[in-house]
């Protein structure tokens, strides 16, 4: 089950501080969107904007990887001009390896950030990156299929 075990756990993305990212030698953060950086269908909030600003100050590139549509990703990324990829096929890695090349990212200095074990954490592990699991933002407003997946995740976690 260690394939689903994240390297680090944080309550919220904004708890991931810059000095910690520097210690971990992170240059690229590949992040899930929905329930990780914002609620389902929602845009970035003030916390996100401040966090992004600090990443930029430290020259850390944030890249959005979502299994949701490109349209959804674009609505989120456009105000900030950050790269974002929809239909990312997580936890499959072929498409994302291409994206890593495009972004000049290597696994050793990349971090995968997400709220789901089966898609985000597993995907990051398969890519050889460090993985961070966060608690979902607004869990009470999730679609039913995401809620179901979380129940399965809870069962898996008990066996760690
Ligand atoms: Mg998510």
- Kindly write down the DSSP assignment for every residue of 38-79, as one continuous string: BSTT----HHHHHHHHHHHHTTPEEEEE-SS-HHHHHHHHTT
What pTM was computed for the model? 0.90
Is residue 160 over pLDDT 70?
Answer: no
Query: What ranges do the domains of the chain cover?
Result: 2-158
Say how many Å lie between the CA of residue 13 and the centre of ligand 1. Answer: 12
The model's confidence at residue 155, banded by pLDDT at 50, 70 and 90, is: confident
Q: Tell me the pLDDT tens digit for each residue of 1-58.
A: 577 899 999 999 999 999 999 999 999 999 999 999 999 889 999 999 999 999 999 9
Residues recorded for the chain: 160
Say how many Å lie between the CA of residue 51 and the centre of ligand 1. Answer: 18
Say how many Å lie between the CA of residue 134 and the centre of ligand 1. Answer: 10
Enumerate residues with CB within 5 Å of ligand 1 (an ion). Answer: 32, 34-36, 115
Class of domain 2-158: alpha beta
Q: Tell me the pLDDT tens digit for each residue of 114-130.
A: 999 999 999 999 999 99
Mean predicted confidence (pLDDT) in 144-153: 79
């Amino acid at each position: 089950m260690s394939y689903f075990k994240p390297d680090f756990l944080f309550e919220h993305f904004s708890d991931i501080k810059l000095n910690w990212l520097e210690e971990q030698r992170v240059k690229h953060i590949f992040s899930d969107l929905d329930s990780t950086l914002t609620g389902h269908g929602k845009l970035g909030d003030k916390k996100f904007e401040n966090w992004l600003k600090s990443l930029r100050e430290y020259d850390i590139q944030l890249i959005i990887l979502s299994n949701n549509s490109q349209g959804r990703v674009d609505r989120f990324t456009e105000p900030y001009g950050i790269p974002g990829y929809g239909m990312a096929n997580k936890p499959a890695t072929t498409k994302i390896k291409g994206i890593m090349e495009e972004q000049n990212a290597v696994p050793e200095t990349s971090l995968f950030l997400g709220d789901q074990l089966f898609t985000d954490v597993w995907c990051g592990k398969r890519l050889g990156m460090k993985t961070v699991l966060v608690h979902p933002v607004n869990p009470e407003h999730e679609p039913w299929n995401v809620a179901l997946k979380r129940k399965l995740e809870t069962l898996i976690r008990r066996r760690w």
